[in-house]
Amino acid sequence: MHDPKGLNTMTPRFTIRAGLPEDYNELLKLSQFLDSANLPNDPKPIKKLLDLSLDSFSGKIKDPTARKYVFAIHDEEEQSIVGTSMIIAQLGRREAPYVYFDIHREERYSDTLDKHFVHQVLTVRYSYNGPTEIGGLVVHPDYRKSEHKVGMLISYVRFLWIAMNRALVQDQILAELMPPLKEDGSSYLWEAVGRRFTNMTYREADRLSKGNKEFIRSLFPRQSIYTTLLSQEAQDVIGQVSPNTRGVETLLRSIGFEYANRVDPFDGGPDFIASTKDILLVKRSLEWQACLGKKKHDTHVLLAHQSSQAPFFVCIPAWCSFDERHNKCFVDDSILERLALTEGDRLWALPLSLS
C-alpha cells in the first residue's frame, strides 16, 4: 500500500487505547448514537462498563472469561473520543447463558393432497460456554465517512488485541449484527414473539437480558416456533442485516466469518462466527522488533503495545516498513515516542490493507 499524499511523514491524528473510568462523560455522549444493550445511553451501565474494562485490562478480574474490554479512539486534534468498540471475553456463563434462536428447515409432504411445504423453524438454545463476542462498535456520525477511516481503525483494533492476547479469548469469535428495526427502534420479531410471552418492550427485555436471563428460560416457549405463524414483517427480518450494517457484514465475510444459522431472540439479527485462529486480521497481526528508520515507509498499519500500567493498551495508525528476514519494523522516532517505546522494544503490527 503506497502513500501518494505523503501522509507517512505526518504525526498520527488518532490514538486507540483502553477505555477507562475517566472516559465516562465522552463515552456517555457517544452512546446516544447507538443506545444498544452493549452500550446503552444510560449513566449507570456506562460507569459499570468502564469500571469493568479497567478491571479487565489490569487483570484485577482473575477469571479471564468474565472480562470485558472497551477500546476508545481519541482524536488528538479535537481532544475527544470519536469511536468505541469492545470485546466480551466469553458469552454464556452460569448466571447469564448465551441465548439464541437456532434456525433450521423442516419439510412436510402430504401424499393425499400432493402438497409439499418447507418451514423455517426457530428453537431457543442456551449455551454456558460460548464464544468471545466483538461488539459495541460506535463511531461519531461526523467521522463515519471521513478519509481517516475511523470505523475501520476502531473495528480492526480488536483483532490486533486478540492476536496479542490469544490465551484470553475463546476458540471462536462471534459478531451479532443488527437487523432492520421499526422506525421507533423496536423489533419486528420481538413484537411477534417475545412481547407476547413477557409483556416487556424490546428495549426493556434486551437491557435486562445482559445481566439476568432467567425470565427468558422461564417465560419463552419451550417448543419450536414455526415462522409461518408470525407476521410477514417478522419473518422478513430473521437473519437479515440492516442497511447501515451491510458494510460490517462485508468486512466480516472477507476476513473469515460466516453466518451461523442462529439469530438474536430479541430482534432476529444474525450471528456471524469464525474460528479465532483462522480470522485473517488475527493471522496478519505479528510481533516485531522496533527500529528507527528514515527511509520511505510503504505500509500503513496499526502499531500497538501493552503494559501492566494504565492505559494498559495503546495503538496508533502509522506508516512503517518491514525487514521480515530479521523480524524488524522500521518507524520514525515520533511514532515510538507516541507509543512510549524505545528502539529495540517489541511491538505488534497489523497491516490495514487486506490485499
Residues of the chain with pLDDT under 70: 1-10, 35, 37, 294-295, 355
Rounded CA separation 308/246 (Å): 37
**Which pLDDT does position 353 carry in this prediction?**
85
Q: Is the dihedral of CA 326, 332, 337, 342 positive or negative?
A: positive
**Which pLDDT does position 295 carry in this prediction?**
66
Question: What tens digit of pLDDT does each residue of 226-264 get?
Answer: 999 999 999 999 999 999 889 899 999 999 999 999 999
Rounded CA separation 57/5 (Å): 37
What are the beta bridge partners of residue 68? 88
- Is residue 110 within 8 Å of residue 193, measured between CB atoms? no
**Which pLDDT does position 10 carry in this prediction?**
61
DSSP letter at 189 equals H
Rounded CA separation 205/46 (Å): 18
106 phi, psi to nearest 5 deg: -125, 125
pTM: 0.92
Question: What tens digit of pLDDT does each residue of 32-64 get?
Answer: 887 676 778 789 989 999 999 999 999 999 999
